[in-house]
Structure 1
Amino acid sequence: MSEAIIITPVKDSLTTTKRTIEAISKARGNFEYYIFNDFSNADTKMYLEQAKKKYNFQLIHLEDITNTPSPNYKLVLQTAQKIAVEKNCPLGIIESDVVIKNDTLSRLINLLNTKEKPGLVGAITVDESDNYNFPYNFEKIKNADVLNTSHSLSFCCTLISAQFLKEFNFTLLSDNKDWFDVFISRQSKKLGYNNYLAKGIEVLHLPHSSRPWKNLKYKNPVLYYLKKIFLKRDRI
């Protein structure tokens, strides 16, 4: 029986996607791995088709089930929740710009099984210099604490408990948003669950590789917010 369902949504960013998949293939633990290809270009799609047997993952092309343009994160979450609930497993999300370690998943699963009423359990993200980085750069002190946090957990590398998945149906997610980590984190707390940030479980994060335009937020914030408002991008 699987300990978790693990998913990675993919939208191009082939260089980081390859690193993400290879790292997950080496991870310890008994889990099923699904990749959701969200209308990636031909090169990315061809790589995923070639890699699925080598790395033992199940590949879902969203173009086969929807005509809605990318991003289709709501559909990804709804489909993955259904799989996880049917198998009575937690759902793990590892983004395509994240590189985990061999013991990342086993340690997160252990926390999920031992902490009090967990809703979400997340690994903290670091840059290539091993410093905490986006979206957890509000943490300034390096240590191995596991925080019962009121901050929202990012879906960079996060497990969602099976119990919470049964209690909150992702069909209720808004059609007016693109990303749902903040909302789902808050919903977890609202329903009486605890969200845990594991500062001692570090994963490499290479931010915004699939959405390079989002780097404008730091380089040219005025242009970023103009694009966000008028092009309806990055709706959180």
Structure 2
Amino acid sequence: MSEAIVITPVKDSLETTKRTIEAISKAKGNFEYFVFNDFSKPETKSYLEKIKTKLGFELIHLEDVTSTPSPNYKLVLQMAQKKALETNSPLIIVESDVVIQKNTLEDLIKLSGKHEKTGLFGAITVDQSGNYNFPYTFEKRKSNNIVDTSHSLSFCCTLISTPLLKRFDFQNLSQNKDWFDVFISRQSKKLGFKNYLAKGLEVLHLPHSSRPWKNLKYTNPVLYYLKKVINKRDRI
């Protein structure tokens, strides 16, 4: 029986998407894998269709489910929660700009089960030099510690526990947000759960590959916030 539901939401960023899915296809562990294609371009859609059987994942095209334009993260989370609850399994999100290691999923499942009142359990992200990077730059010192953190966890590579999935219904997520990692992190704490960050469980993160305009936050922050407000983008 599956020990987890694993999902990857995809919006183009084809090169990183390839690396993400190929790494998950080689990962250890007993899990079901779903890829949610959120109105990607034909090239991305074609690639996903071509390799879904070979790499062992179920492909869901959101264009077959909704007419709402991308991003549809709320819908993805709602559909994934339903699948996880049906199998009484935790939900693991691996974003399409993250490359996991062979043991990552297996370790997330095992370690999360060994810690008290787990709500979220995240693998830390690193750059290609092995340094902690966005969104975990607040961790300054390398270690193998597992930290009960007050910071919000990103969904880069994060497990949402079965007890939390049972306590908080994703149907109640706001219609006015695009991304929900901060909100669900806070909701987890509010419900009495603990959020853990595994500093020794490292995954490669190539930030904003599917949303390249977000890099303006670092190169031209004024323009970034203007686009964010005017175009109602990146609502957290």
TM-score above 0.5, yes or no? yes
Task: Find the aligned partners of 1:183 and 1:83 in 2 and give their Cα distance.
Answer: 21
SS of alignment partner, residue 9 of structure 1: strand
State the match for 2:44 in structure 1.
44
What amino acid does structure 1 have at the position aligned with 2:151? H
- Can you list the C-alpha shifts for 1:186-223, whole angstroms capped at 9, x where unaligned? 00000000000000000000000000000000000000
Q: CA deviation at 1:177?
A: 0.2
Q: Structure 1 runs of 4+ off > 3 angstroms?
A: none
SS of alignment partner, residue 159 of structure 1: strand
State the match for 1:156 in structure 2.
156
Q: CA deviation at 1:87?
A: 0.6
Task: Find the aligned partners of 1:32 and 1:112 in 2 and give their Cα distance.
Answer: 18
- Can you list the C-alpha shifts for 1:88-125, whole angstroms capped at 9, x where unaligned? 00000000000000000111111111000100000000
Query: 1:80-229, aligned counterparts within 5 Å?
Result: 80-229=80-229
Task: Find the aligned partners of 1:184 and 1:137 in 2 and give their Cα distance.
Answer: 20
- Can you list the C-alpha shifts for 1:110-157, whole angstroms capped at 9, x where unaligned? 111100010000000000000000000111100000000010000000
What amino acid does structure 2 have at the position aligned with 1:136? Y
Percent of residue pairs bearing the same amino acid type: 74
What amino acid does structure 1 have at the position aligned with 2:230? F
Query: 1:61-76, aligned counterparts within 5 Å?
Result: 61-76=61-76
Task: Find the aligned partners of 1:77 and 1:131 in 2 and give their Cα distance.
Answer: 29
Task: Find the aligned partners of 2:120 and 2:153 in 1 and give their Cα distance.
Answer: 8
State the match for 1:57 in structure 2.
57
CA RMSD of aligned residues (A): 0.3
SS of alignment partner, residue 129 of structure 1: coil
When normalised by structure 2's length, the TM-score is 1.00
Residues matched between the structures, number: 236
What amino acid does structure 1 have at the position aligned with 2:161? S
What amino acid does structure 1 have at the position aligned with 2:226? L
Gaps of 5+ in 2: none
What amino acid does structure 2 have at the position aligned with 1:59? L
Task: Find the aligned partners of 2:96 and 2:202 in 1 and give their Cα distance.
Answer: 16
- Can you list the C-alpha shifts for 1:42-96, whole angstroms capped at 9, x where unaligned? 0000000001001000000000010000000000000000000011000000000
State the match for 2:11 in structure 1.
11
SS of alignment partner, residue 36 of structure 2: strand
Q: CA deviation at 1:174?
A: 0.2
Task: Find the aligned partners of 1:2 and 1:187 in 2 and give their Cα distance.
Answer: 26
